[in-house]
């Protein structure tokens, strides 16, 4: 039976006091907490499976609240996301929910926001989506390529990354509409996706990400990618998921369950 394996890890890094990232894999969420080692879940291929990361905005109030809210809402509707328009509608609804939550707390959460990026795995295709600068990469024998679209301003000369975003979910005083990036990509057994917050993609170059993905299996790749971010100074929260689709039903992994 074809299945989808998801190996995920979330860590605050070396400089942040707390983890404001969240992650969703099917009905399972990991919100603003820490995993010391990659966690692997296995799902049957068939029902839409959403895997995504959300990065609460640094320097804004309650980024962890915003990322957790978005992860849990996406988990609740993930099995219904069968097409691009439904994914787009879900992200627009998440944006509205973050704004509403911020306005309902007497000003304590005003301006909270989060990025989001992920894939919905379907038989034969993947719906790739993002708002903000969290990323989705496709890993194939031809190399690693970014398939999400960074919502970031143009880079200054000599700079490889920026911490600024041009759109996110929430993140402003008063409602601000978003325009999610959603595309459909063909999916074949053996392909892998790397989904991550900028705590990985900012300090670690794409060449290094590619080399690690080429050299290691899913769990080891997730661990080695985290090590690369830590070796680069661990300047931000690090959350990542390696997603693999296979047509081989034999696996030593435990079946997936739900949690939060």
Summarised one tens digit per residue, pLDDT across range 218-255 is: 999 999 999 999 999 999 999 999 999 987 644 444 33
Q: Is position 157 within any domain?
A: no
Range of the domain at 91: 3-151+165-246
Rounded Cα gap, residues 194 and 226, in angstroms: 12
Domain of 26, CATH number, reads 3.60.40.10
- Residue-wise burial string across 88-112, b where 16 or more C-beta atoms lie within 10 A, e elsewhere: bebbbebbebbbebbeeeeeebbbb
Read off the pLDDT of residues 15-61 as tens digits, 9 standing for 90 and up. 988 899 999 999 999 997 888 799 999 999 999 999 999 999 975 66
pLDDT at 162: 65
23 in a domain, yes or no?
Answer: yes
Q: What is the pLDDT of residue 206?
A: 95
> With bands split at pLDDT 50, 70 and 90, how would you rate the model's confidence at 260?
very low
Question: Is 253 contained in some domain?
Answer: no
> What is the mean predicted confidence (pLDDT) over 209-219?
97
Domain assignment of residue 251, yes or no:
no
Residue 155 has pLDDT above 70, yes or no: no
Specify the number of domains making up the chain.
Answer: 1
Q: Please state which of the ranges 79-93, 106-120, 159-173, 224-238 shows the lowest mean pLDDT.
A: 159-173
Domain assignment present for residue 111? The answer is yes
Structural domain contains residue 67: yes
Q: Is residue 192 part of a domain?
A: yes
257, pLDDT greater than 70: no
Q: Are 135 and 201 in contact (CB under 8 A)?
A: yes
CA 19 – CA 88 distance, rounded (Å)? 27
Residue 82, pLDDT > 70, answer yes
Judge whether 258 lies within some domain: no
């Amino acid at each position: 039976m074809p299945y989808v394996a998801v190996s995920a890890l979330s860590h605050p890094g070396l400089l942040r006091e707390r983890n404001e990232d969240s992650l969703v894999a099917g009905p399972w969420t990991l919100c603003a907490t820490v995993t010391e080692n990659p966690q692997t879940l296995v799902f049957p291929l068939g029902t839409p499976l959403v895997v995504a990361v959300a990065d609460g905005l640094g320097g804004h109030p309650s980024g962890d609240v915003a990322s957790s809210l978005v992860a849990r809402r996406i988990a609740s509707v993930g099995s219904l996301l069968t097409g691009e328009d439904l994914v787009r509608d879900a992200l627009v609804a998440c944006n509205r929910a973050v704004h509403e939550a911020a306005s309902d707390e007497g000003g304590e959460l005003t301006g909270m926001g989060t990025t989001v990026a992920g894939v919905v795995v379907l038989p034969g295709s993947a719906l790739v989506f993002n708002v903000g600068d969290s990323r989705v990469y496709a890993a194939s024998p031809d190399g690693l390529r970014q398939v999400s679209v960074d919502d970031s301003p143009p880079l200054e000369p000599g700079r490889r990354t920026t911490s600024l975003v041009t759109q996110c979910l929430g993140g402003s005083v008063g409602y601000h509409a978003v325009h999610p990036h959603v595309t459909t990509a063909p999916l074949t057994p053996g392909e892998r996706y790397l989904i991550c917050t900028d705590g990985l993609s900012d300090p670690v170059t794409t060449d290094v990400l590619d080399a690690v993905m080429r050299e290691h299996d899913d769990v080891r790749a997730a661990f080695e990618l985290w090590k690369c971010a830590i070796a680069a100074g661990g300047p931000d929260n690090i959350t990542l998921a390696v997603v693999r689709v296979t047509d081989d039903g034999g696996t030593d992994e435990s079946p997936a369950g739900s949690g939060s």
